[in-house]
A and B are shown apart, each in its own frame.
Chain A
Amino acid sequence: QQQVKQSPQSLIVQKGGISIINCAYENTAFDYFPWYQQFPGKGPALLIAIRPDVSEKKEGRFTISFNKSAKQFSLHIMDSQPGDSATYFCAASRMRGAQKLVFGQGTRLTINP
Chain B
Amino acid sequence: GAVVSQHPSWVICKSGTSVKIECRSLDFQATTMFWYRQFPKQSLMLMATSNEGSKATYEQGVEKDKFLINHASLTLSTLTVTSAHPEDSSFYICSATGVETQYFGPGTRLLVL
Taking beta carbons and an 8 Å cutoff, which residues of A are in contact with B? 32, 34, 36, 41-46, 49, 89, 96-98, 100-101, 103-106, 108
The reply to whether A44 and B101 contact each other, CB–CB distance below 8 Å, is no
Task: Decide yes or no: A101 and B43 within 8 Å by CB, A41-B107, A41-B109, A43-B107 being known contacts.
Answer: no
A-B pair count, CB < 8 Å, reads 55
Asked if B100 is at the interface of the complex by the 8 Å CB criterion, the answer is yes
The reply to whether A98 and B31 contact each other, CB–CB distance below 8 Å, is yes
The reply to whether B43 and A98 contact each other, CB–CB distance below 8 Å, is no
B15 to A: closest C-beta gap in Å? 23
CB-defined A-B contacts under 8 Å, sample of 7? A46-B104, A89-B44, A98-B31, A98-B32, A100-B34, A100-B46, A103-B44
The reply to whether B103 and A97 contact each other, CB–CB distance below 8 Å, is no
Asked if B8 is at the interface of the complex by the 8 Å CB criterion, the answer is no
The reply to whether B109 and A97 contact each other, CB–CB distance below 8 Å, is no
Which A residues lie within 8 Å of B82 (CB)? none
The reply to whether B42 and A101 contact each other, CB–CB distance below 8 Å, is no
The reply to whether B97 and A44 contact each other, CB–CB distance below 8 Å, is no
Separation of A96 and B98 alpha carbons in the complex (Å): 9
B108 to A: closest C-beta gap in Å? 9
Separation of A106 and B106 alpha carbons in the complex (Å): 18
Task: Decide yes or no: A36 and B100 within 8 Å by CB, A44-B44, A89-B43 being known contacts.
Answer: no
The reply to whether B32 and A96 contact each other, CB–CB distance below 8 Å, is no
Which B residues lie within 8 Å of A105 (CB)? 42-43
B87-107 residues at the A interface, CB under 8 angstroms? 91, 93, 97-107
Q: Could you give, for residues 72-88 of chain B, a 1 whenever the CB lies within 8 Å of some chain A CB and a 0 otherwise?
A: 00000000000000000
B60 to A: closest C-beta gap in Å? 11
B91 to A: closest C-beta gap in Å? 8
Asked if B49 is at the interface of the complex by the 8 Å CB criterion, the answer is yes
Separation of A80 and B42 alpha carbons in the complex (Å): 23
B46-62 residues at the A interface, CB under 8 angstroms? 46, 49
Which A residues lie within 8 Å of B100 (CB)? 49, 96-97
The chain B residue sitting closest to A10, CB to CB, is B41
Separation of A103 and B105 alpha carbons in the complex (Å): 16
Which among B91, B93, B101, B107 is the interface contact of A46 at CB below 8 angstroms?
B101
